[in-house]
């Protein structure tokens, strides 16, 4: 499993992800008692286990489903100004209270994934272009 210490991984389960499945994953305590867990919870536990085995420390912080926009930006490792700008441009819904703009963490994570995919696609297209720096056959 790829564990990158500079990139936190946020695990967010929707209502369906919280359900147990027949013969699904479980935690087993030292006495052998089995505690069934949803498959998505297993993914989170596997990530924690991989990080610890690689010698990294792990910080687990429960987050609300809806966060102040700055906290959501921090959780997704997005610049706060960028997330505020994108929200103001309608990229994600938000609501305002007296002093705070609130966003759903799931919306911010989805936006972050879309931005990452677009960046990756752009970098891939640059990598596939012919380099104008390379000498051509007739230029030598």
pLDDT digits (tens, 9 = 90+) for 52-72: 999 999 999 999 999 999 999
CB 29 within 8 A of CB 35: yes
> Looking at per-residue confidence, does 69 or 7 come out higher?
69
Residue 45 has pLDDT above 70, yes or no: yes
Q: Which residues pair with 103 in a beta bridge?
A: 67
State the burial class of residue 133 (Cβ atoms within 10 Å of its Cβ: 0-12, 13-18, 19+): exposed
> Looking at per-residue confidence, does 105 or 1 come out higher?
105
Global model pTM greater than 0.85: no
CB 42 within 8 A of CB 30: no
If you average pLDDT over residues 8-21, what whole number do you get?
90
pLDDT at 136: 60
pLDDT at 133: 58
Beta strands in 77-117 (DSSP E): 95-96, 101-104
Percent of the chain with pLDDT over 70: 92
If you average pLDDT over residues 107-112, what whole number do you get?
94
């Amino acid at each position: 499993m790829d564990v990158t210490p500079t990139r936190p991984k946020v695990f967010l389960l929707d209502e369906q992800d919280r359900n147990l499945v027949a013969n699904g994953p479980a935690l087993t305590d030292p006495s052998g008692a089995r505690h069934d867990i949803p498959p998505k919870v297993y993914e989170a536990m596997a990530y924690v286990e991989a990080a610890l085995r690689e010698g990294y420390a792990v910080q687990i912080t429960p987050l609300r489903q809806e966060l102040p926009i700055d906290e959501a930006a921090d959780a997704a490792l997005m610049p706060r100004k960028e997330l505020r700008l994108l929200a103001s441009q309608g990229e994600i819904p938000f609501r305002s209270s007296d002093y705070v703009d609130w966003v759903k963490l799931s919306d911010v994570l989805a936006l972050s994934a879309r931005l990452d995919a677009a960046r990756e696609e752009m970098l891939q297209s640059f990598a596939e272009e012919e380099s104008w720096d390379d000498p051509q056959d007739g230029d030598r």
